[in-house]
């Protein structure tokens, strides 16, 4: 009788330890999957921006500066299941993307119906995205900006340095950088 209970106890302990390791591995895989998915979205959006920037430069009708702050999701013909559209609140749901429209700039034509703003991602797991480690619920933001030939290497665009394309640049998510919908009203 004692031997049977001892074997049962050993079996339960072994199954418990194996379940613990299995759950740990499962959690790591979920984190890796979210990280890969978010990096894939960023790569696809960056590729679309390269193409749109080249189109603007080749058409000679548009300027790259006019495309700053656009929503890059509109450039890709794909139904994104984790893209919520325009941000309805302060941040999208866990593991989702949204576009936070900013205020219209003075140089933007009134006839152009393109909101300017920031792309926001709210991770559902602790991940590393764009070389930035983030915890769940700490949203990250990017903005479409112009890339330029930095001839003097100072990282700032001067008048003589011409734009060479579009890029998706990380920006800090602060009240000034990305105002919420309520602050715009």
Question: What pLDDT does 179 receive?
Answer: 40
Q: Could you give the maximum distance between any two Cα atoms of the chain, in Å?
A: 89
pLDDT digits (tens, 9 = 90+) for 53-83: 888 888 877 778 888 889 999 888 878 888 9
**pLDDT band of 115, cuts 50, 70, 90:** low
**pLDDT band of 121, cuts 50, 70, 90:** very high
DSSP 119-141: EEEE-SS-EEETTEEE-TT--EE
> Dihedral sign, CA of 13, 18, 20, 23?
negative
pLDDT digits (tens, 9 = 90+) for 127-160: 988 888 888 889 999 999 888 777 677 767 767 6
Instruction: Quote the domain boundaries for residue 27.
Output: 2-184
What integer best gives the mean pLDDT of the chain? 81
pLDDT digits (tens, 9 = 90+) for 6-22: 999 999 999 999 999 99
What is the 8-class DSSP label of residue 87?
-
Residue 154: CA count within 13 A, CB half-sphere: 5
Question: What pLDDT does 106 receive?
Answer: 40
What is the pTM assigned to this prediction?
0.74
Question: What pLDDT does 174 receive?
Answer: 67
Question: What pLDDT does 112 receive?
Answer: 44
Number of domains in the chain: 1
What gap in Å lies between CA 174 and CA 181, rounded to an integer? 14
């Amino acid at each position: 009788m004692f031997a049977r209970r001892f074997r049962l106890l050993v079996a339960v302990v072994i199954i418990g330890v194996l379940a613990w390791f299995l759950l740990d591995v499962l959690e790591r895989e979920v984190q890796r999957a979210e990280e890969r998915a978010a990096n894939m979205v960023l790569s696809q959006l960056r590729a679309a921006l390269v193409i749109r920037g080249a189109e603007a430069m080749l058409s000679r009708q548009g300027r790259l500066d006019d495309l700053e702050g656009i929503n890059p999701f509109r450039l890709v013909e794909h139904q994104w299941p984790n893209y919520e559209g325009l941000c309805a609140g302060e941040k999208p749901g866990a593991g989702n993307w949204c576009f936070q429209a900013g205020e219209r700039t003075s140089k933007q034509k009134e006839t152009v119906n393109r909101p300017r703003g920031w792309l926001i991602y709210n991770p559902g797991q602790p991940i590393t995205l764009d070389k930035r480690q983030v915890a769940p619920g700490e949203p990250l933001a990017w903005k479409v900006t112009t890339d330029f030939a930095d001839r003097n290497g100072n990282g700032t665009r001067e008048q003589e340095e011409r734009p060479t394309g579009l890029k998706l640049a990380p920006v800090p998510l602060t009240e000034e950088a990305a105002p919420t919908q309520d602050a715009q009203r």
